[in-house]
C-alpha cells in the first residue's frame, strides 16, 4: 500500500499542476511582456520579411532618444518597437544594418556644464533587432562621428583632434576591438603640404569595398581619400577649386559636384552684398560634375542667380538630382 501511495502522490501533484496551468493560462490568452515578445518574434538579425524604421525624440541638446520600429512587410503591421535612450545626436546619429543598430550613448551627461564630471562616459553601442544592446567600447580618445561598413566588421573613427600629433582616421575590427588601419593626418600632410585640415567622413561604397572620407578646412573641402578594405590601400585625391561642404560625392564612380566661383561667408549680410555685386555684373552660377580620378568635367546647368546652391544629390550611380531657383527639380545623367 505504501509503495502505491509513493507512486500515486507524485502523479497526482503533476496532474494538479498541469490542470492549474491550463486553467490560469489557457492557450491564446498568455500576454507576454515586451522582452518576451521581442525574443519570441525576432532574432538578432532582420529576416527577409521585416523592415526597420526609427524616430528621433529630441531631449536637452545634444541628447536624444531613438525609437526603433520593426515592421512585417507581409502584413504591413508593426511587430514590435523599442527605445534607445540618451544617444548623441548630430548630423549622423545612427546607422542601421541587417544585424545591428549602431549609436553613441552618453552616460552621466550634464547639459548645464561644458566640462563634464569624471563620471561622464561616451560609449559605442550595438543593438540587435530583438532589443538587446551591448556596449562595444568607450570612445575616450575619439570624436563622436562613426561609420560601420556594410558587412558590420569594420568601424571608422576619428582619433584625437586637429593640431594633436596623434590626429588620425582609425579603422577598428568590431569583433576584436583592435585597430586594423590607422591613417595619421601628418602622413598625408607630409606628402601633400597643402592638405592641412580636419578629417571628415563620407560613406562606404554599397559593396563595402571602399571607404571614402575627406579633408576640409572650414567650409572648403581640400581633398578626398578612398581606402580599400583589407588591403588598406589609400588614394589621396585633391579636390578641384571651389568644392564646398554641400557638394555631393558619387561614391561609386568618384564624381564630385562643383559650383565654380561660389564662396561661403557664413554671414547673411556679406552673402547678400556679394550677390548684389555679382548680379550687377551679370554673374550667375553654374553647376558641374568633376571626376576626381581623371579630372574630366561635365557641365550640368546654370542660372542667372548668383551664389545659387543647386542642392545636388546623387540618386543613383549615374543620376544627379538638383534644384533650380524656381524650385523645379531636375535630373542630370552622366554621359558615356
Share the mean pLDDT of the chain: 88
pLDDT (0 to 100) of residue 320: 98
pLDDT at 75: 86
Rounded to the nearest 5 degrees, what angle is found at the Cα of 144, between the Cα atoms of 143 and 145? 95
Residue scoring higher pLDDT (73 or 193): 193
pLDDT (average), residues 257-266: 96
pLDDT computed for residue 331 by the predictor: 98
Model confidence at 40: pLDDT above 70 = no
Q: Is the pLDDT of residue 156 over 60?
A: yes
Looking at the predicted structure, is the pLDDT value of residue 286 above 90?
A: yes
The arithmetic mean of pLDDT across residues 286-315, rounded, is 98
Residue 18: predicted pLDDT? 36
**What pLDDT is stored for residue 137 in this prediction?**
85
108-133: average pLDDT: 94
Tell me: pLDDT of 128 over 50: yes
Using one digit for the tens of pLDDT, what is the confidence trace for 194-247? 999 999 999 999 999 999 999 999 999 999 999 999 999 999 999 999 999 999
Residue entry with cell 549615374? 318
**Does 80 score more than 80 pLDDT?**
yes
Predicted structure pTM score: 0.84
Asked if residue 42 has pLDDT above 80, the reply is no
pLDDT digits (tens, 9 = 90+) for 167-207: 999 999 999 999 999 999 999 999 999 999 999 999 999 99
Q: What pLDDT digit, counting tens, does each position of 55-72 carry?
A: 999 999 999 999 999 999
DSSP string for residues in 13-76: HHHHHHHHHHHHS-TT-----HHHHHHHH--SSPPTTEEEEEEEEE-STTEEEEEEEEEETTTT
pLDDT of amino acid 76: 83
Strands 63-72 and 77-88 turn out to be antiparallel
- Pairwise CA distance, residues 227 & 160, whole Å: 20
pLDDT in tens, 29-38: 222 223 323 3
Q: Residue 12: what pLDDT?
A: 39
Amino acid at each position: 500500500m505504501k509503495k502505491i501511495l509513493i507512486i500515486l502522490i507524485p502523479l497526482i501533484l503533476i496532474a494538479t499542476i498541469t490542470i492549474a496551468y491550463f486553467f490560469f493560462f489557457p492557450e491564446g490568452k498568455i500576454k507576454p511582456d515586451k522582452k518576451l515578445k521581442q525574443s519570441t518574434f525576432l532574432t538578432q538579425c532582420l529576416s527577409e520579411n521585416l523592415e526597420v524604421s526609427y524616430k528621433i525624440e529630441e531631449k536637452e541638446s545634444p541628447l536624444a532618444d531613438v525609437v526603433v520600429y520593426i515592421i512585417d512587410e507581409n502584413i504591413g503591421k508593426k511587430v514590435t518597437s523599442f527605445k534607445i535612450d540618451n544617444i548623441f545626436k548630430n548630423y549622423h546619429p545612427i546607422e542601421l544594418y541587417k544585424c545591428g543598430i549602431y549609436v553613441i550613448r552618453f552616460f552621466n551627461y550634464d547639459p548645464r556644464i561644458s566640462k563634464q564630471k569624471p563620471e561622464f562616459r561616451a560609449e559605442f553601442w550595438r543593438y540587435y533587432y530583438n532589443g538587446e544592446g551591448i556596449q562595444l567600447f568607450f570612445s575616450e580618445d575619439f570624436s563622436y562621428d562613426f561609420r560601420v561598413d556594410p558587412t558590420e566588421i569594420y568601424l571608422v573613427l576619428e582619433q584625437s583632434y586637429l593640431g594633436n600629433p596623434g590626429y588620425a582616421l582609425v579603422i577598428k575590427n568590431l569583433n576584436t576591438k583592435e585597430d586594423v588601419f590607422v591613417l595619421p593626418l601628418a602622413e598625408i600632410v607630409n606628402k601633400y603640404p597643402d592638405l592641412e585640415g580636419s578629417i571628415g567622413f563620407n560613406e562606404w561604397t554599397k559593396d563595402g569595398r571602399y571607404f571614402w572620407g575627406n579633408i576640409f578646412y572650414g567650409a572648403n573641402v581640400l581633398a578626398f581619400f578612398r581606402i580599400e578594405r583589407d588591403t588598406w590601400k589609400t588614394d589621396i585625391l585633391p579636390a578641384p577649386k571651389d568644392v564646398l561642404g554641400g557638394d555631393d560625392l558619387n561614391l561609386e564612380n568618384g564624381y564630385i559636384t562643383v559650383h565654380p566661383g561660389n564662396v561661403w561667408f557664413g554671414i547673411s549680410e556679406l552673402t547678400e552684398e556679394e550677390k548684389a555685386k555679382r548680379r550687377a555684373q551679370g554673374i550667375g552660377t553654374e553647376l558641374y560634375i568633376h571626376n576626381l580620378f581623371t579630372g574630366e568635367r561635365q557641365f550640368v546647368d546654370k542660372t542667372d542667380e548668383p551664389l545659387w546652391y543647386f542642392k545636388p544629390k546623387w540618386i543613383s550611380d549615374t543620376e544627379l538630382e538638383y534644384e533650380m531657383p524656381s524650385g523645379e527639380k531636375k535630373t542630370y545623367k552622366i554621359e558615356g
